[in-house]
Chain A
Amino acid sequence: MIYLDNSATTRVCDQAVDVMSRCMRDMYFNPSASYEKAMAVKAEMERIRTEIAALVHCPGGRVVFTSGGTEADNLAILGALSGCREGRVLYSAGEHPAVKEACKALKGLRAESIPLLRDGTLNLEALSSMLSNDVLLIAVMQVNNETGAVMPLKEIAALRDRLCPDALFHVDGVQGFLRVPMDMKETGADSYALSSHKIHGPKGAGALVAGPRVRLHALLHGGGQEGDLRSGTENTPGILGMGEAIRAFPKENDMRRLKCLLWERLLGLVPGAVVNGPAPDAERSAPHILNVSLPPVRSETMQHALEGDGVLIGIGSACASNKQRISETLSSMGVGRKIAESALRFSLCPYTTEAEIETCAERAGAAYRFLSPYQRR
């Protein structure tokens, strides 16, 4: 099996599995307990907290462990704005539902979406015209989960500083963390959400990194864990597994070269192939996501055909792909219906090999040759 749906989730790396297994067998103590063995677990958690803050350049920032990206986004948005009764929140049209729906859930506040450019990045001009003093929060993802477009975070923060300096800037880093460098200080982001299972860690773990401007209120009440921001006994196997996955993530990797190779091969086999998103070799394209349409073969058909040939890929975002409609990201980019209906998402990981990419391209080409004459007319 060739797995190229790493933006949906990743295989947990062996190092993380080992640490989690040890944590469940031997280090299962409640980190809030007062004996030494529990304190050792707590110390390990704190070490991971510091490492994460350092990785995203937010030293002294607050790192709250959550159940994953969705909770981190919800905490950043609902937790920061729970006291506000009027104002606007802005989110990019391609945001994950975890951000979009959280923005819409804010009572009394207007949630507005910021359009995207043709290449999938944020339309800064449109954003600038939307910014005014009543904007409380801007939420823009680091990397779009469907197209791999890297968002111009620094430019967004600059606009914020100029036009509504009090607004918070939340960045959903679920698709970017470790694959695209993040510097919260330099980009001016106030909060950053990340998820463990996209970087070869376990599911059910994630974190929100919050800078000094953010005042968070808890969404879950109870025993007061995580500095009273996230009650509930800590998911220590998940957190330790995530920590190990972060350490083990191969910072030097071949993803961008292989992604470009995949595109080159696909274009060679299917001259009508179209990239949805920035050019694969462009800097504003994440190294691991390639969104391609091979019209007229529909996404589902190609996905099933490749599955039949042992290649697993994504169509749209896995979290929303049971809703059969054109993705909001692609429609905001102005991608036509026919192209959008045949969009495929190949997402790589640091362990993807050249041979896998060659085989995948070859099989996609063969499936295309077989299927393209037989499409709804």
Chain B
Amino acid sequence: MRKLLLVKYGEIYLKGLNRPYFLKTLVARVREAVKDLHGVVWLHDARIFVSGVEDMDECVRRVTRVFGVHSVCPAVEMEKDDFEAVKAQALEVMRPYRGTFKVEARRSDKHFFLESPQINASIGEYVLENSEGRLTVDVKHPEHVLSVEVRDQVYLYADVIMAVGGMPVGTGGKAALLLSGGIDSPVAGYMIAKRGVELIAVHYYSFPYTGPQARQKVLDLAKILSSYVCGMRVYVVPFTEIQMDIHAKCPDDYTTLIMRRYMMRIAEIIARKEHCLALVTGESIGQVASQTMEALCTTDEVVNMPVFRPLIGFDKIDIIHQAEKIGTYETSCLPYEDCCTVFTPRHPATRPKMEKILEGEGKLESERLIAQAVANAEIIDL
């Protein structure tokens, strides 16, 4: 008998011939997540198992955050040949519970001497008789389900903890997230990463308009995100000179938009260097002036790779709820100014004209500014 964590995966079930590839990646991700807990992780018979960890609660916390995991069950593994011992252990597993229950057997080993309904009946009867009145049977709407999986061994569990779902990171390509200190961009990153996408982050740093605390806040946000994706590289790009130049030479109502176009240009260069296939932003239609559809079109226009905006149809309140759920909200709310708000004009253009943008940009030494920003970017691996 030994205690272990039985990990179930979700959407990977739908995969056909390439399922092994997805599974292999998922196992690798689970392994990375529990690496310093000294556990052993293996895949067997459509289940991933984690055993040997000292701190099971921490192990559960981490594995439920691995994209691709549907749910986890703290389980007990028993030898198949002693069915009496299995029954006794089943009673142990159910000891903390009160109310109604049923037994749900899954008999993957078709040679096992009992069939599923017989396993249900036999174990159910044993638990009922020995539970000293704490449990009664209800096969239709039970409060607790005791699962019995008969494979090479027998696995017993009654607790199913839901995980984040999604696809294992690394199976969906790689993208560069434009990460500010706000609420939206970390959520956007999370949503894209959940679909199996490996992320790097690009942050624009406007020292001295924003300071070391604002920079640390962004790194803290990246750190939270990286806990879901098993590590992330962050580029901190010095952006002050570009912002100052825009501020000095471009029309006031266009400064934010032109600044965003430079952010996209720089992000694309970094993305290509890092073999990313797309950019990710936290924009949502109409949230602020630079996120009207017209404005989004003008920022898209400067890049030659897809720009994913997973929050495009979200209300702010939904984004906030999601940020709370993934644990980035509190950090995002720290009050340090971020690069996007440093020079916000009072009346930014919401229906921008391309001629005016180009006229403004024509006054800047774009190539030099961009090359310099990319060259001086600081790289931090989290």
The reply to whether A376 and B211 form a contact with Cβ atoms under 8 Å apart is: no
A48 within 8 A of B: no
Q: Which of A303, A322, A324, A374 contacts B247 (CB 8 A)?
A: A374
Q: With an 8 A cutoff between CB atoms, is A25 at the interface?
A: no
Please give the number of chain A residues whose Cβ is less than 8 angstroms from any Cβ of chain B in the complex.
Answer: 17
How many residues belonging to B are interface residues under a CB distance threshold of 8 Å?
21
Which residue from A301, A324, A367, A376 sits with its C-beta under 8 Å from B335?
A324
Is B244 in contact with A323, judged by CB distance below 8 angstroms?
A: no
Q: Given that A300-B337, A322-B335 are known contacts, is A377 also in contact with B212, CB under 8 Å in the complex? A: no
Contact between B343 and A376 (Cβ–Cβ < 8 Å)? yes
Check if A46 is an interface residue, CB within 8 A of chain B: no
Indicate if B209 sits at the interface (CB-CB under 8 A): yes
- B342–A305 touching, CB < 8 Å: no
Tell which of B209, B248, B252 touches A301, judged by Cβ atoms closer than 8 Å.
B209
Select the residue from B208, B212, B248 with max chain A CB neighbours within 10 A: B208
Q: In the complex, what distance in Å separates the CA atom of A36 from the CA atom of B248?
A: 74
Q: Does A304 contact B (CB under 8 A)?
A: yes
Q: Tell me the complex Cα distance, A303–B211, Å.
A: 9
Q: Is the CB of A302 within 8 A of B335?
A: no
Which residues of chain A are near B207, meaning CB under 8 Å? 304, 308
Q: B208 touches which one: A304, A322, A323, A324 (CB < 8 A)?
A: A304
Digitize B320-345: 1 where CB-to-A-CB distance is under 8 Å, 0 elsewhere: 00000000000000111100001111
B131 at the interface (CB under 8 A from A): no
- CB neighbours (8 Å) of A376 from chain B are 342-345
**B350 CB within 8 Å of chain A:** no
Determine whether the beta carbon of A304 is less than 8 Å from that of B335: no
A-B pairs with CB below 8 Å: how many? 43
Secondary structure class of chain B's binding surface, majority of residues: loop
Q: Does A161 contact B (CB under 8 A)?
A: no
Q: How far is the CA of A190 from the CA of B295 in the complex (A)?
A: 64
Closest Cβ–Cβ distance, residue B230 to chain A (whole Å): 31
Q: Does A336 contact B (CB under 8 A)?
A: no
**How long is the Cα–Cα vector from A323 to B211 in the complex, in angstroms?**
15
**Alpha-carbon gap, A301 to B207, bound state (A):** 8
Residues of B near A304 (CB, < 8 A) are: 207-212
A323 to B247, alpha carbons, bound, how many Å? 28
Contact A373 B248 (CB under 8 A): yes
Whole-angstrom CA separation of A371 from B209 in the bound complex? 9
Q: Does A125 contact B (CB under 8 A)?
A: no
| Cβ A374 vs Cβ B335 within 8 A | no
Interface residues of A in 346-377 (CB under 8 A from B): 367, 371, 373-374, 376-377
Q: Could you show 22 A-B contacts with beta carbons less than 8 Å apart? A: A300-B210, A300-B211, A301-B208, A302-B208, A304-B207, A304-B209, A305-B208, A307-B208, A307-B211, A307-B212, A308-B207, A322-B213, A323-B335, A324-B335, A324-B336, A374-B243, A374-B244, A374-B247, A374-B248, A376-B344, A376-B345, A377-B252
